[in-house]
Chains A and B, each alone.
Chain A
């Protein structure tokens, strides 16, 4: 495989289930897995009970969008970690380490490092300035109509692309793990998501996310402990046997060939690190806690859980080199040099079977399914709130819509998003959705993130600057993704990509910032003066939390 392809694969592995949809690994349907289905039923029943309970708590729009700000820092930390740790983090990253050794570890570090930065620079300002959506912050002192419309559009672009990626990944994964047909799998995911979001709103979505995060953390840890037991809990023994087993020997213990192109690696880590800070469903999490103190705590816990989980997954990858890599029963035709049964992403699943038997494999499969459901629900909620809170209630009705109407629109919007997600999910079954990952994070990092961070930090930002800069980021990210190998070569069938990198962020993000600064500086309108003057009050609120949206009483 050439390095570009591996980088693309790595990107997919890390942040979405999309890699499972790559045409090379179109999943084969497996026999029905009864353990997995049984445990998944338990999960579904439990979460439906929670949704029923949450529905009774959800009375206002604040309850619906942000659980009334009543989630504690620790709970929210788990939920944030849950939003970030997708099924593919477990499957994709462990497979990457299995195949490439230390290079997989380098990616882990790259994907982790955005979190501390969010803690230092964004968490408290997000909570102090926002209410329901990140557009609240961006349009705080800028033009409500135009900026909100733009921010909502940015949110919806990201949400829709990412929903499709998750749906396609879900369909492939479920087909593989549970032995269900692809369209049925996609519809099950879509239907459950609709139930969680429409009836339970943010309260149900958060609890589904928390349960899934606990399952994933527990499942990963138990798997790592069982695997390490085979090596007498000694990393020294593990390293010795992994080096012995792996085709490239000692090379797996240090940086290898995967990062041959530093620019591509830089563009990717930039896009992924700052893309997180532009994902609407992650940003929304900061509004579910009562105050800035809890918001900070929640990122601290989330960062800890994510860091821990990543280290566990790296351990799994190395352990699998020995345990799975030497066992012919996990390879097609029993050929140790050939392909893994079920595709390259099944490393963690095979390891689960090898050290924990069928029951544990079933548990891990159910957890993977639950993981996708939770992420999809969070995305749908973020998209629906952009439609109902930003576009309907604020832009269209100028803040005069009643809560009942707004809730009704949210639910209709959720159904709309669900239908779109299921439809596109089925349509894209055989497509390589790699480009959608590039697009999701490209747009998040070059459109949502620059406008958001400038709105929070830069006094001189004006409506005109934010619009032009955001559009520059959006258009350049879109163009570069179209010209990138994922679309130009894989989808359109050209021989050579015009833009050689999979992620546009290294170029589109600085461009967005540049245009924001230049256009804002040149803006001499009276409106621009008012917007600059309004920064001082915004700044006091951002720093002290005075005037910040309060938690509703439960």
Chain B
């Protein structure tokens, strides 16, 4: 079978030795893992509150209000993690892709 690995082996080698590649990998994984930790942390915090301090989420939003803090907090977890998704996609599709295109071009000269 034609393994793509061999077809591009030389370019792969060149790319690996390109300092820009190291920079790409580092900055992308730093962003990806930090955002993952942030989403997972937010979610865990929410679930821990639900399990161990549910009364916090039962507090009313205003003096006469029957809406509780829990409602906007739950919605915020969803919206916040979606916005982080947007942040990652934006960075990856502009900054990282530009760098990546540069690296590929340099490997094929």
User: What is A's interface to B at a CB cutoff of 8 Å?
Assistant: 102, 105-106, 108-110, 112-113, 115-117, 119-121, 124, 140-141, 144, 235-236, 239-240, 243, 250, 253-256, 259, 262, 265-266, 269, 292-293, 296-297, 299-300, 303-304, 307, 310-311, 394, 398-399, 534, 536-538, 540-541, 543-547
Contacts and interface: CB of A to CB of B under 8 A. Distances in A.
B97 A540 contact: no
Nearest to B101: A544
B65 interface: yes
B66 A541 contact: no
A543 B25 contact: yes
Contact of A546 (B11, B71, B84): B11
B43 A536 contact: no
B85 A115 contact: yes
Contacts of B24: 543-544
A394 B55 CA distance: 57
Assign chain B's interface to a size class.
Answer: 35 or more
Interface string B83-96: 01110110011000
A178 B15 CA distance: 60
A120 B88 contact: yes
Contacts of B47: 106, 110, 265-266, 269
11 contacts: A112-B81, A116-B39, A120-B35, A235-B67, A239-B67, A254-B68, A398-B1, A537-B9, A544-B24, A544-B103, A545-B100
Q: Which of the listed residues B75, B84, B85, B103 has the most CB atoms from chain A within 10 Å of its own CB?
A: B85
Nearest to B32: A120
Contact of B15 (A109, A394, A546): A546
Given A394-B1, A546-B11, 19 more contacts: A102-B70, A105-B74, A106-B47, A106-B50, A109-B77, A116-B82, A117-B39, A120-B32, A120-B88, A236-B66, A253-B68, A255-B70, A265-B47, A269-B47, A296-B88, A299-B85, A311-B75, A544-B21, A544-B100
- Report the 7 A-B pairs with minimum CB-CB distance, sorted nearest first: A254-B58, A399-B1, A255-B54, A547-B4, A239-B66, A253-B68, A120-B32
Contacts of A543: 21, 24-25, 28, 100
Given A540-B16, A543-B21, A141 B5 contact: yes
B37 to A, nearest CB: 10
Contacts of B89: 119, 296-297, 299-300
A12 B35 CA distance: 30
A109 B46 CA distance: 9
A297 B70 contact: no
A300 B82 CA distance: 7
B41 to A, nearest CB: 11
B67 to A, nearest CB: 5
Given A253-B66, A311-B75, A303 B82 contact: yes
Nearest to B53: A255
Contacts of B40: 113, 117
B8 A546 contact: yes
A253 B61 CA distance: 11
A140 B84 CA distance: 31
Nearest to B75: A311
Contacts of A303: 81-82, 85
B21 A540 contact: yes
A543 B10 CA distance: 16
Contacts of B1: 144, 394, 398-399
Contact of A254 (B32, B70, B107): B70
B74 A259 contact: no
A119 B65 CA distance: 37
Interface string B14-57: 01100001001100100011011001100100110011001101
A21 B25 CA distance: 48
A240 B12 contact: no
B11 A253 contact: no
Nearest to B76: A109
Nearest to B40: A117
B71 to A, nearest CB: 7
A181 B40 CA distance: 45
A117 B97 CA distance: 20
A294 to B, nearest CB: 9
Nearest to A119: B85
A391 to B, nearest CB: 15
A410 to B, nearest CB: 19
Nearest to A269: B47
A269 B21 CA distance: 36
A266 B51 CA distance: 11
B39 A546 contact: no
A543 B82 CA distance: 23
Contacts of A259: 50-51
B81 A116 contact: yes
B35 A116 contact: yes
Contacts of A300: 85-86, 89
